[in-house]
């Protein structure tokens, strides 16, 4: 059995790592969107995707549980917003089924990790 790694930075959080990977994926896929979307869906997807990791990072730095939870819940809100944008991108044919499925699965994984992070804060003494 490996030793549990000490969490010293937000970059040590698995939830942040996966949120970061998701944001990078969103940047790559939106590079292929039509130019007419640069200030619309492309921008909205990139903002919501980067907001997830940013809020995890900011929540990590907060001292009180209440503040931490506030930022982690905001990250969940941004994640849900991104899930909605992905559905729109799929339905207007900017994303094919395979591309959508991969990104949708990434959002599910980030959601599970965020839920775990929130639960750990709620149950800590």
- The 10s digit of each residue's pLDDT in 110-120 is 999 999 999 99
Q: Is the pLDDT of residue 124 over 80?
A: no
* pLDDT: which is higher, 73 or 123: 73
Rounded distance, CA 48 to CA 53, Å?
9
What single-letter DSSP state applies at residue 40? T
Q: Is the pLDDT of residue 105 over 90?
A: yes
**pTM summary value:** 0.93
Rounded distance, CA 36 to CA 31, Å?
12
- The 10s digit of each residue's pLDDT in 48-102 is 999 999 999 999 999 999 999 999 999 999 999 999 999 999 999 999 999 999 9
The residues spanned by each domain of the chain are: 27-123
Superfamily covering domain 27-123: 23S rRNA-intervening sequence (1.20.1440.60)
């Amino acid at each position: 059995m490996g030793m549990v790694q000490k969490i010293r930075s937000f970059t040590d959080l698995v939830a942040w790592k996966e949120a970061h990977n998701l944001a990078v994926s969103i940047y790559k896929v939106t590079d292929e969107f039509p130019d007419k979307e640069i200030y619309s869906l492309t921008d909205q997807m990139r903002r919501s995707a980067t907001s997830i990791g940013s809020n995890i990072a900011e929540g990590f730095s907060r001292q009180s549980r209440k503040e931490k939870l506030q930022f982690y819940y905001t990250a969940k809100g941004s994640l849900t917003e991104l899930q909605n944008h992905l559905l729109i991108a799929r339905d207007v044919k900017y994303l094919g089924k395979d591309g959508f499925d991969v990104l949708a699965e990434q959002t599910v994984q980030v959601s599970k990790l965020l839920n775990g992070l929130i639960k750990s804060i709620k149950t800590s003494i």
